[in-house]
Structure 1
Amino acid sequence: MTGLRIPDVRRSAVVCSVVAALLPAAPSAHGDMAACDPALVAGAGSLVGDYWRSKGEETSVYGCPVTQETGFPDKRGSVQRFRNGQIAWSPNMGEQNLLRVYRKSGKINLRWGPTSRDWDFFHVRWNIDAQPDPARDVQRRVARETPWTGSYAFNPHPGVSHQGDKYEVYNFSFQGCDRGTFGSTCGPWSNVNIHILWRS
């Protein structure tokens, strides 16, 4: 497993629990980011933790972790939620592949890679409010940054009112594609998706 240390598996909760878990933590009384809880910081050897540390830890666009890194009962991979986004390890796209999402400058920012092979371009797909429904899926073709990495940013539309609070939960996945003489050929979708809550 390329040295990745995965914590104990925890089963996914129902949709309302997912939404509650994604609500951003309250800022400190002084308006500054409190020191990160060391019990939530993924240890050395974790791709997620090592990437977060390389980006500046609590000063990065992700902020402090608010959950532990969590594995899955039915597949390889892991995900960890941060104050301002999520980072997920999705090894079906490459042993070093990380899918990342965060909020910045009024936009949702999505990044991924490195994939296990080169691609000509990528597809990004998302749905809203943790309700898988192909009819509501949005898909975009995205030019590659490098043959193994990509990114996409967009302005989300206003959230839906939930008991007086307006928010939506966006759920993301991606795939790589190659151009061909008679059309495009695409690989599998990332099988570890990530989520982010957007509040209006």
Structure 2
Amino acid sequence: MSRGIAVALFAVTALVVQAPSAAADVCGRQVVGDILAKYEQMGGETSLLGCPTTDELPTPDGRGRYNHFEGGSIYWTPTTGAHPVWGAVRDKWASMGWEASKLGYPVGDELTNPDGQGKRQQFEGGTVYWHPTLSNGAHPVWGQIGKLWGEWGWEGGNFGYPTSDEIPSPELKGFIQTFSTHRTVLWWSTGFDNGDTNHPVCKEECVGYKAAIGSEWVKATEVARNLVNGNVDISVFPTEEGFESADTSYDRLWNQSFSKVPYPDRWLSDDQGSSLYKQLACHARYSYDLGGGPLSGDTWDLEGWAPDVSWDYAMNPIFFLDHGCNWYER
């Protein structure tokens, strides 16, 4: 080894030895490095965190470090940085298993939402949302349910704040999650013929949403979208009055069907929307019962991939005998 290289290596070694990570004794506890820097940036002992209640410790997975404080914790990894976690968000994260949970480590500090009241914090595996009156506690949102929710405006959009965690649904072989506008977002798992006769489109992975309508003619509406081919179908659940009288105004029936769920116009063309309207009208027109149940079915299923057809083809009783309001099959 040349003398020049040896001198250079000695200098680097000296720098490492002479510049250890910053450390401080705070309230009798050791706080170090980036966690100390974040703590001091927040105001140290005068911040919401208060005094540390532990020394800096390694996390069980070996990826990171943390300190607990009177008012929360700071967690750090080389890739995520140091971030405080506290309050309802920390309680939820702790109940799920801390950094060993599906959420992983925090990747940002807690933020205030545009409404000025709710809070959110992003983690490696999702985001936890909380509102003092709307969210029923703090709840994580992630995956395809989170993606659909975001597409419709996050907490300020059509669904509002999450009011539950994801809930397993054996019927869907997937999950559902409830939101503060009394709407539910659904995810059907991939690769299963899940037997959901309401949505023939969902023999592959699907997302969707539903809500109780509670109107004169409609009990509930449910929307599903196939994530492989983009096909959409809609199930409208009529009331007894709907079976009997919805044929008197198709516009009124349509408006009631989408009064409490967003119409999925971003997933549909104008021609597809026209076809859906005619399918709904056809179901309402042929909803009378000849003794074996309504001719047009107990649930009015509307297929977004069905071609638009003429009103005569949609409503003529001769053609109805052929298509039964399901002309996508013809």
Decide which structure has greater strand share: 1
Q: Which has the larger radius of gyration?
A: 2
Short-chain TM bin: 0.3 to 0.5
TM-score, with length taken from structure 1 = 0.39
